[in-house]
Amino acid sequence: MNQIESLFKYRPGKKELETILSKVIQEKDLFDKLTDLVIQHKKFKNIGPSWALGFAGVKRPIWFLERLDELIDSTDSNTPDCVFRAISRVLRDIEIPEKYIGTATYICFQWVSDPEQSIAVKAFCLHTLSHILLKEPEIANELRVITESLMPNASSGLLNTCQKVLRRIEKLER
């Protein structure tokens, strides 16, 4: 069992998670081990590794983006929601370099269109796509269609996000 895995053997408290996070953002090797643990999500039963990766990814976006394809490829219908949330939260909160725009756009459209995804993941993906829209305006029509399709059954939070996305699209088209 590696150092990171042993830290998540039991569900760590918030202070312990903050300590882990401060170590992970200092050492790329620890960041990679944490990412490996999240990729092997079937091995852990708590949200700690995903939570830590979500925050570490924002602090070290290049390290996160270098592993983005692996993280995405590791997801399937058995993936815990916390993994989807962590990945989509990081994408929402970072500036995505041109090199990764295609991957981020693809996965966000996939997840926002997936009826099995949680509201949070859909909202994070919509936010990410609305930021990508500024660099890639050609996604406007597809983004509008998907956003409008979510609105009739959306929670109040997701509805608010949908309205913001549609306003951004309208503003861009003026």
pLDDT digits (tens, 9 = 90+) for 59-113: 999 999 999 999 999 998 888 899 999 999 999 999 999 999 999 999 999 999 9
**Residue-averaged pLDDT of the chain:** 91
Angle between helices 28-39 and 14-24 (to 10 degrees): 120
Number of Cβ within a 10 Å radius of residue 53: 27
Give the pTM. 0.90
pLDDT at 1 over 50: no
Asked if 88 and 128 touch (Cβ cutoff 8 Å), the reply is yes
Using CB atoms within 10 A of its CB, is residue 113 exposed (0-12), middle (13-18) or buried (19+)? Answer: middle
In this prediction, residue 65 carries a pLDDT of 96
18 token code pair: 């903050």
In this prediction, residue 77 carries a pLDDT of 85
User: 107: closest CA among 124, 119, 82?
Assistant: 124
Average pLDDT over every residue of 34-44: 81
